[in-house]
Amino acid sequence: MASTRNIVGGETATGNERGRVLTMRDEEKAKEDDSPSAKRAKFERFPLTRWELAAALGVFFVFSTGLFCIYLTMPAAEYGKLKLPRTISDLRLLKDNLATYANEYPAQFILGYCSTYIFMQTFMIPGTIFMSLLAGALFGVVRGIFLVVFNATAGASSCFFLSKLIGRPLVNWLWPEKLRFFQAEIAKRRDKLLNYMLFLRVTPTLPNLFINLASPIVDIPFHIFFLATLLGLIPASYITVRAGLALGDLKSVKDLYDYKTLSVLFIIGSISIFPTLLKRKRIYE
């Protein structure tokens, strides 16, 4: 009888221990569910870590400081006229206010214009199309195209390196499906990557913002990215700068890219990938 009691008592003790273990596991699981990492997975919080966010803010602060120092060199009377346009009417008003200043202080104006354009392009601030229209309205076709292509290429390159530093989690969070598609297309076209990148830059197949951010993530070499951007943005820049000459007749930004204009861009883009199609045909033959 004593041995039976010991066995029963031992089993009871073992059961109590198991219960305590299970309770502890449940408590640990509850703590894990309440942890920051679990909450981030649940609610899909902003994907950047503290270090990545600090790096992004640091780069933004450096750019902002440089831009502010440049604006300090401008005459104080012009500060009230400086405003990023959001509509065509805002752009017309800005053009009228800055026309005299651009003629009297061309070097200072170009420096401020380029710094603003590159800053907006680097940090994905909407409105660079208005800056391109402004270049056409103030500088004409030739100088306007040169300024727009230079600034757009410099800003895209800055965005490329910023994305190389902290962009992978952000792009994966914003465009996971589009990134996988882009990566697969790049993998298939490694032999003629420059032609494909030219096609993407000329045509509105993928947004330029996405191309700038995703290119370093899918391992596109910078020299190919730079060359494709420099050459591929010329046709669209010409269209935008040319429209800036007739700013008074322009009603909306949507008027820039009608069916005819898009067709021309796709024809130009198709020419850039023609060598790739020709090579495939020879391989099949």
Establish if 6 belongs to a structural domain. no
**Domain count across the chain:** 1
pLDDT single digits (tens) 55-110: 888 889 988 998 888 888 776 655 566 677 888 888 888 888 888 888 888 888 89
Residue type at 274 in one-letter notation: F
Residue type at 27 in one-letter notation: E
Can you spell out the DSSP letters for 45-85? -----HHHHHHHHHHHHHHHHHHHHHHHTS-GGGGGG----
pLDDT single digits (tens) 11-35: 444 445 544 544 454 445 444 444 4
185-191 average pLDDT score: 89
Establish if 8 belongs to a structural domain. no
Contact 247, 95 (CB under 8 A): yes
Instruction: Give the least confident one: 109-113, 142-146, 224-228.
Output: 109-113
Establish if 26 belongs to a structural domain. no
Q: 182 lies in which domain range? A: 50-281
CA 245, CA 138: separation in Å to the nearest integer?
A: 8
Establish if 176 belongs to a structural domain. yes
Residue 10 vs residue 131, higher pLDDT: 131
Establish if 22 belongs to a structural domain. no
Establish if 270 belongs to a structural domain. yes
- Beta-carbon neighbour count of residue 271 at 10 Å? 13
Establish if 100 belongs to a structural domain. yes
Torsion of CA 259, 261, 267, 270, to 10 degrees: -90
pLDDT single digits (tens) 195-232: 999 999 998 888 999 999 999 999 999 999 999 999 99
Please list, in sequence order, all residues whose beta carbon lies within 8 angstroms of the beta carbon of residue 142, skipping any fewer than 6 positions away: none
Establish if 146 belongs to a structural domain. yes
